[in-house]
A and B are shown apart, each in its own frame.
Chain A
């Protein structure tokens, strides 16, 4: 017999999961779209955002929102550093870019370990308030993540579709050479994409930091999830990434609730393989960006 309270609770948990997954995945898609490189260190950018909260909010007692904002800027600058030091010199070598980002991942993990130790960090909760819906409850801190995801993703959508920068970004993702001939600076659009993409991973990490256990290896499961999502959505499709994030979060959360986490991972990966078998370019993908 399906308990309605449990059902509502699981739906709420799914919405929360979908929020931070989509923030991470959209950033990954943006970077792939403009730079043409798979950023393996994307999970570690998420981790860097979480550690910004450890340093600024938990250790230095800064107001939470100020810490989140600083964390966003910090991780965005890490993205700029990656663009300048790794991806720009390796522009014609996507596999090299992937390996370089693995090197960067190792450096970030080591820095987190050296700076904060391997112990799990528990961050004092931002708020203890809980919203209750019948017998189901939803911590306010999770609601912040959901709101942030909706606001940021809408802002990104407006930025990409309505501003000249957004057009330039999309143009250089579609055809870098033609875009450059139209006077669009590829280096500049790449910087914007890296700052936004990394910053979104960072903000997702920063906002969820008080809700999860922060440790130097937390990026691993995040990047695996993000890979699944961007594949199912179709690599290079922002809409696909968001739709796939929501679908994946619901499937994964429900299977975890009713079976267990490992089965949920297997189901998620199998669904992804199934999508690839039926439509090898993902649900929203087109063949030419493969």
Chain B
């Protein structure tokens, strides 16, 4: 009985959530929603065992593509968002040719280099990427009404509902992919690559597939971001943000689907809400860095291991 009730309760809580928050907290909530999509798609990529440092740049590809599709070609924003995601996936397929010749540490740095090249291209070429200043005045989502609720996309609450629905659908899709035979093969590619290959699994094709799907969802995240903030530039997708995605995933734990989401939510609340509102701006990276180190040292399997411990105890009790 509880099992059927839990999802409606979660949904109701998520709908009610922004109304108890201040305006700036509502804005953070929108970013948090988008970041959950980015970090969850990152987990799909890490299923095959490769840690990319290009994920945030790929998210930026989605953002730039979607912004340009709507601005230059005048496409309807939802269509340009989807096309942005597709572009990100296609760029990922292109990048996979050089990158998947490498493994492990070389892949990590190779992906970083590929990402930096894309970022520097945005910076260097004023036409069409806008150079260092980026693209301004990106079309917002057109307002619409569903009868009971009028979406006004200058309001963070409206955008939170819109992004929330999209992200929930994407999370469901990501979860279905992970539980499908394809997703299980991703696991096999990571943990038993020799055996998987011997069973006729084309390792490289599956790595590319994971990379492309993950990049598509990250690109959609970027598109959602671009049409919310209205302006993007090469520094919106730099190494700092990538470091955040990486730490969300690792602090949360990558053994489960919810681990990275848990890490993203916890660290964002900690960073944005607690530390920012305590007031010491300069001390914030110091405390954040210390927390990062302490959680790596004392929670090597991430926050998810805490959850697992708690639920296991309750079951045995």
Binding site for B on A (CB under 8 A): 38, 85-86, 89-90, 93, 95-96, 99-100, 102-107, 109-111, 113-114, 220, 224, 227-228, 231, 235, 262-263, 265-266, 269-270, 272-273, 276-277, 280-282, 290
Contact = CB atoms under 8 A, between A and B. Distances in A.
Interface in B129-173: none
Contact of A224 (B114, B116, B288, B291): B116
Contacts of A276: 98, 101-102, 106, 110, 113
A282 B124 CA distance: 28
A85 B293 CA distance: 9
Given A95-B250, A266-B124, A111 B102 contact: no
Contact of B117 (A114, A231, A270, A282): A270
Given A265-B120, A266-B124, A114 B289 contact: no
A95 B104 CA distance: 10
Contacts of A104: 289, 293
B285 A107 contact: yes
Nearest to A262: B124
A102 B103 contact: no
Interface of B: 51, 98, 101-106, 108-110, 112-114, 116-117, 120-121, 123-124, 239, 243, 246-247, 250-251, 282-286, 288-293, 296-297, 300
A100 B288 contact: no
Contact of A113 (B282, B288, B289): B282
Given A106-B286, A235-B105, A277-B101, A269 B243 contact: no
Contacts of A273: 98, 110, 113-114, 117
Contact of B292 (A106, A224, A282): A106
Nearest to A101: B293
Given A103-B296, A235-B106, A262-B124, A110 B285 contact: yes
A231 B109 contact: yes
A47 to B, nearest CB: 14
B123 A262 contact: yes
Contacts of A90: 296-297, 300
Contacts of A231: 106, 109-110, 113
Contacts of B292: 99-100, 102-103, 106
B112 A227 contact: yes
B98 A93 contact: no
Contacts of B106: 231, 235, 276, 280-282, 290
The binding surface of chain B is classed by DSSP as helix
Given A86-B293, A89-B297, A227 B109 contact: yes
B246 A99 contact: yes
Would you list the 3 A-B pairs with minimal beta carbon distance, nearest first? Answer: A106-B289, A103-B292, A110-B286
B114 A107 contact: no
A231 B108 CA distance: 11
Nearest to A290: B104
Contacts of A290: 103-106
Contact of A263 (B104, B105, B124, B300): B124
B209 to A, nearest CB: 21
A100 B293 contact: yes
A95 B51 contact: yes
A86 B296 CA distance: 9
A114 to B, nearest CB: 5
Nearest to A96: B296
Nearest to A105: B289
Nearest to B243: A102
A278 to B, nearest CB: 9
Nearest to B124: A262
Nearest to A36: B105
B288 A99 contact: no
A99 B53 CA distance: 13
Greatest chain B CB density within 10 A among A103, A105, A266 is at A103
